[in-house]
Amino acid sequence: MAVATVWRDPDRPRPVDLPALANPTALREWLAALDVAAKKDLVGRIETQVLLGQPVTVLEERDGWVRVAVPEQPEPGAPRGYPGWIPSWQLTSDPAWAALAGPAGAGGAWGPWTAPSTPPDQSTVGSGSKAAVVPATVTVAAVTTWLHHRPHPQARWMEISFGTRLPLVGELAPSGCGGAGSSPSARSSGTGPSTTDGGAGTSSGAGAASSYTTRGREARGGAGGPMATTEREGWIAVAVPVPEWCAGLSPPGEGAGGRVPRGARTDLGATGAGVAVAWVRRADVRIDGRQTTPGVAEGAREEHGPAPTGAGGVRPGSTATGSMLLETARRFLGVPYLWGGTSGFAVDCSGFVYLVHRFHGIAIPRDAAPQRDHGGGQPVPRDRLRPGDLVFFAHDGGKGQVHHVGMYAGDGRMIHAPNSERVVEEIPLDTPPYGERYAGARRYHAG
């Protein structure tokens, strides 16, 4: 499930929204079917969206729907995170994914917004004297990219969004779905792990792996082959939650010719079988927290991903500058507007700036008014704006309720996601009606 839409109530989706309710979702098909009137009608229907692998907290279940909170999306008055409803078939509570995605942390949830108590475990791969410590996660840096069945451009499987974080794996381990010692998922493949506990559940996290090793043989026409390494000629292998396999659906890479065998997963002991191995282009992702050992393979480099600390928090030692935020924001130019959109497929104004900050390890609230009033940050006078600062707009000449947010782009300009009739664009800050509705600015970056 590349992106799951969080609805205000289970009765809010319309017939035109069926592609967004499918598993897997058909995001491109859904967006193509929405004219301007249908997009505007989403106001009051959609709350937000969550990405593949993101954790959610289960609050309630009703008639095939699950009311959840999104811990990674802070919201005033919602201590567990942004609330809403997701079809149950778009979630997974598979213990295999839960084990790989990460341990429980403070409040029973561990994800990119809460720091783990111990560093992520890492596994070592290599050949001969050249060895490297494999990082725990990758984050999609392209606006969208594709997961592939195997490291080949024609083996596309699922298009995923900017900001998606997935565990990185080293080698593959053949294993049958639903075999001895495995437990089928209580839900279908989804955007994030979830477990229930007496009606109120907690997410198991979508960050780095807690403790796992990978082993096995690469499938080559059904015969055993050499160990499959994490990176291969511009491709990188990641773990993906897909418990549909246990429902009889074909997993990615079924077949011979170097593809992943049916039921292949990371070796998680005797729990679950709902984890697939997929391949993504190395150029489209950032490796988070890479560390190397002496004799590291040529070309490897150290990269540090985010570990935000909470609403308005910046990870310790963050070097994210406003210019870095702006550079990332400009990747979204031309991306469609969608009320509640929080992915590289489509965004609303606050979802856009939220995604950009999250990518750089800066936690801010999900919505525009809380971003100004409840997210912390440093108030900035208009004459001291710097690139990367958030600029806000409100009704009643800027003195009423905040209704819009953009990012200052320098030279009196801003980049923003305007409305259902347009796309992410860069315009002068004083463009009507924004000039007369200016309502202040906040700086969350390092400077």
At residue 207's C-alpha, the angle toward residues 203 and 208, to 5°, is 130
Only one residue has tokens 């009889």, namely: 248
At residue 351's C-alpha, the angle toward residues 40 and 317, to 5°, is 175
Q: Which of 149, 357, 360, 416 is catalytic?
A: 416
Q: Which of 149, 357, 360, 404 is catalytic?
A: 404
Question: Is residue 348 within 8 Å of residue 368, measured between CB atoms?
Answer: no
Question: Is residue 288 within 8 Å of residue 304, measured between CB atoms?
Answer: yes
Question: Is residue 88 within 8 Å of residue 64, measured between CB atoms?
Answer: yes
Only one residue has tokens 């990405």, namely: 51
Neighbours of 153 (CB within 10 A): 10
DSSP-assigned states of every residue in 190-240: -SSB-B-STT--B---SSS-SS-------EETTEE-SPPPSEETTEEEEEE
Asked if 404 is an active-site residue, the reply is: yes
Cα 350 to Cα 229: distance, rounded to the nearest angstrom? 39
* Helix (DSSP H) and strand (DSSP E) numbers for the chain: 8, 26
Question: Is residue 109 within 8 Å of residue 57, measured between CB atoms?
Answer: yes
Q: Which of 246, 349, 357, 445 is catalytic?
A: 349
**Token digits for 315?**
């990870």
Convert 219-235 to b/e letters by CB count within 10 Å (16 or more is b).
beeeeeeeebbbbeeeb
Cβ-Cβ contacts under 8 Å for 64 (sequence gap 6 or more): 10, 87, 88, 89
Asked if 304 is an active-site residue, the reply is: no
Asked if 416 is an active-site residue, the reply is: yes
Q: Where are the alpha helices (DSSP H) in 6-117?
A: 18-21, 27-33, 36-40, 95-101
Cα 301 to Cα 130: distance, rounded to the nearest angstrom? 14
Query: Which of the residues are catalytic?
Result: 349, 404, 416
